[in-house]
Amino acid sequence: MDNLTLVRPNLHRMAVDRHDMLFHIPTSSLFELDELSGALLDLFDEHGTVSRQLIDQRLSTHFHQADLSETIDDLKSLEILCDDGKAARLNLPPVSVQNFPLTTLVLNVNTGCNLSCTYCYKEDLATPSDGQKMSYETAVESIEMLLRESPGQTKYNIVFFGGEPLTHMPLIRKVVAYCESRFTELGARPDFTLTTNATLLTPDLIDWFKQHRFGLTVSMDGPRSLHDRNRLTVGGHGTYDLVSEKVKMLLEAGMSRPVGCRVTLTHGVIDVAAIFDHLHHDLGFHEVGFGPVTSGDIAAFNLRPDELQQVFEGMKRLGQRYLEQALENRSLGFGNMHQLMTDLHEGNKKQLPCGAGVALLAVDTEGGLNLCHRFTGSALPKLGTVRTGIDKPRLASFVEQRLDRTATGCETCRIRNFCSGGCYHESYAKTGDPAVPTYHYCDLMRDWIDFGVQVYSRLMLENPCFFENHVLPRRSF
């Protein structure tokens, strides 16, 4: 062996208390470095490329030669070290996409919505009277297309979306009945989820959702002063009083699955801790997740750079509270942190930002196939129809382009397997092309992931049972 080179894009070191931790980027794995590994990497940090002679001179008086050789071999197998002059692998090579293991279908049942939220991204949004409703025939064709394209699955996920999906409950009831009968014939289980503004909930509806094990997410932006800034009726009135009343009724019903809340953070709505405390502690949502708006069509609602910085700082402060609770084996329902802990614990390596286009497609009211629910009504060409099936050449071309990180800012980024270039719709809103990665808050995302790795390290060192007790069970919700 001659010279060895450190492959810096494949590792990230950090100190957690007095522990020297290494995050292995290609596998999303976390290791605590022993004294020898730490000393060896210190030497490479100092020089970049190191000869075996220098390694022997600096380390052989403190460590056995056999241990040195074994550690070097281990680091080479992880592609943290490589022979000088040899190209190290940072990402998977470009691949040809042939299969689309579709398991989730989003049915956009109505473009109509009974609210007029100021920041809504939906390009096909309409008032209830002008809304385009999906027909039962189109919904059934959607289910049958799902089964044709991805047969033999044990579970299929059907997501009802809008507009406001509760404005088309007759269709949802019929689709649920059809799915429960059709999937049972095939030995599969349907899983139903729905996102709602909650204004149209009734006791009968809640009982029905409970009976069919719906996973419900309510869109709500915090206490009255924040929620009523943007979540308005068509007539321009705030909706907090009505929504909070409906939410209390929903949560008191004891749903068969935990009810979550999604918060949209926009210009002026950035107090993460206050919003979380109200929604989680005061109203009682099981879990609260935050979605910052940075590239919406209406620039006035986008978070300014200083506000985005404040949002991430607020999320880290809330994450610190999450850690304190977790160390006592209690779960704080902070959705963003739960997801980050899940990704780290399972070693998730995302080659794509999400399942859109591969495991998930969205159906518009006319039966057109879209990348996800955010793209229904957009100018992007459809990816097929429920009648003709997926346009596989078009979809494969898009996915292959996004998988290829060559000459992008993602190629050597340390969070490349967490972020994978960011949300497709943000890319589309920013550049007009969903295949182009977004870069406008990469530093904040890197800092957030670093924070998550530190929290994960503390938990694995001090209370590893937290994951089995509180993180992994989320998969069964």
Render pLDDT for 216-228 as a digit per residue (tens, 0 to 9).
Answer: 999 999 999 999 9
Q: Are residues 70 and 163 in the same domain?
A: no
pLDDT exceeds 60 at position 21: yes
- Looking at the domain assignment, is residue 74 inside a domain? yes
Question: 83, 114, 137: which is the final residue of a domain?
Answer: 83
Q: CA 416: distance to chain centroid?
A: 14
pLDDT-derived band at 161, boundaries 50, 70, 90: very high
The average pLDDT across 304-313 equals 96
Q: What total number of domains does the chain contain? A: 2
Q: Are residues 79 and 122 in the same domain?
A: no
Question: 83, 115, 139: which is the final residue of a domain?
Answer: 83
**The predicted structure's pLDDT at residue 120:** 83
Q: Are residues 73 and 144 in the same domain?
A: no
The average pLDDT across 387-408 equals 94
CB atoms within 10 A of CB 352: 15
Residue corresponding to tokens 């096909």:
124
Residue 134: give its domain's CATH number.
3.20.20.70
- Express each pLDDT in 69-108 by its tens digit: 999 999 999 999 999 888 888 988 878 888 889 999 999 9
- Looking at the domain assignment, is residue 52 inside a domain? yes
- Looking at the domain assignment, is residue 89 inside a domain? no
- Express each pLDDT in 8-19 by its tens digit: 999 999 999 889
Written as one letter, the residue type at 183 is: F
The average pLDDT across 392-408 equals 94
* Domain that residue 30 falls in: 3-83
Q: Are residues 70 and 193 in the same domain?
A: no
Q: Are residues 46 and 159 in the same domain?
A: no
- Express each pLDDT in 180-201 by its tens digit: 999 999 999 999 999 999 999 9
Distance CA 110, CA 166 (A): 9
Higher pLDDT, 119 or 370: 370
- Looking at the domain assignment, is residue 342 inside a domain? no
**The predicted structure's pLDDT at residue 119:** 86
Distance CA 133, CA 228 (A): 28
The average pLDDT across 25-52 equals 94
Q: Are residues 20 and 166 in the same domain?
A: no
Least confident of 29-43, 274-288, 298-312, 376-390: 298-312
pLDDT exceeds 60 at position 29: yes
Nearest to 193 by CA among 170, 168, 218, 171: 218
3-state secondary structure of 325: helix
Distance CA 290, CA 334 (A): 9
pLDDT-derived band at 298, boundaries 50, 70, 90: low
Nearest to 40 by CA among 23, 27, 31, 52: 52
**The predicted structure's pLDDT at residue 364:** 97
- Looking at the domain assignment, is residue 53 inside a domain? yes
Per the prediction, the chain carries an average pLDDT of 94
Distance CA 296, CA 426 (A): 8
**The predicted structure's pLDDT at residue 218:** 98
Residue 66: give its domain's CATH number.
3.90.930
Higher pLDDT, 463 or 118: 463
Q: Are residues 77 and 153 in the same domain?
A: no
- Looking at the domain assignment, is residue 224 inside a domain? yes
The average pLDDT across 319-336 equals 97
- Looking at the domain assignment, is residue 296 inside a domain? yes
CB-based contacts of 356: which residues, under 8 Å, 6+ apart? 371, 372, 424
The average pLDDT across 296-303 equals 79
Q: Are residues 197 and 65 in the same domain?
A: no
**The predicted structure's pLDDT at residue 297:** 66
Q: Are residues 171 and 315 in the same domain?
A: yes
- Express each pLDDT in 209-257 by its tens digit: 999 999 999 999 999 999 999 999 988 999 999 999 999 999 999 999 9
Burial label for 145, CB within 10 Å (0-12, 13-18, 19+), is buried
Q: Are residues 178 and 108 in the same domain?
A: yes
- Express each pLDDT in 114-141 by its tens digit: 998 988 877 676 666 678 999 999 999 9
The average pLDDT across 405-414 equals 94
- Looking at the domain assignment, is residue 9 inside a domain? yes
Q: Phi then psi for 307, rounded to 5 degrees?
A: -70, -40
Q: Are residues 268 and 205 in the same domain?
A: yes
Distance CA 96, CA 403 (A): 10
pLDDT exceeds 90 at position 36: yes
Q: Are residues 258 and 181 in the same domain?
A: yes
Higher pLDDT, 95 or 356: 356
